[in-house]
């Protein structure tokens, strides 16, 4: 049987978003049962929303795609907050939180690169760190 592949599935940022869902799910599985309908649910929905927005917006006009990428950014920021709350409640370690933030930062860079290219109308299947022109996700790096 012939395998059907949609164009958005070729985007590296989409593939990374799928990987992030897996990583978020692994973290969520460590949360206590009492968080099942609160933090766990919100974190899972936010992580899933990243990939959903990339796939939904790809193939639309550049303006529409940028709108969906903005929604993906918003979901990334939700994941940061969920990770921070999980750390404060001691559901995950600081190291796990830091690793999550690093993954989120890489995804933001990919989304920003993709957005910059979509503004000039290029058809994309990969993104470049070189096209990352502004930091929308990290307001002030901490050392």
The pLDDT value given to residue 31: 97
Mean pLDDT of 16-22: 91
State in words which class domain 8-124 has.
Answer: mainly alpha
Cα 136 to the center of its chain, rounded Å: 13
pLDDT of residue 60 exceeding 90, the answer is: no
Mean pLDDT of 107-129: 45
Q: Which of 63-67, 109-113, 120-124 has the highest mean pLDDT?
A: 63-67
Closest among 53, 50, 25, 51 to 40, alpha carbons compared: 25
List strand residue ranges (DSSP E) for the chain, in order.
none
- Quote the pTM value: 0.76
Tokens found for residue 35:
């968080």
Mean pLDDT of 7-16: 87
Mean pLDDT of 98-104: 86
């Amino acid at each position: 049987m012939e395998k059907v592949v949609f164009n958005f599935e070729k985007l590296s940022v989409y593939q990374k978003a799928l990987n992030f869902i897996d990583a978020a799910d692994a973290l969520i599985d460590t949360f206590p049962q009492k968080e099942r309908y609160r933090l766990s649910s919100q974190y899972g929905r936010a992580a899933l929303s990243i990939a959903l927005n990339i796939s939904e917006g790809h193939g639309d006009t550049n303006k529409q795609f940028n709108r969906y990428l903005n929604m993906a950014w918003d979901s990334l920021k939700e994941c940061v907050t969920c990770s921070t709350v999980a750390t404060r409640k001691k559901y995950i370690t600081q190291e796990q939180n830091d690793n999550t933030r690093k993954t989120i930062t890489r995804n933001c860079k990919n989304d920003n690169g993709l957005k910059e290219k979509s503004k000039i109308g290029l058809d994309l299947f990969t993104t470049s760190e070189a096209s990352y022109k502004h930091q929308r996700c990290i307001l002030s790096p901490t050392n």
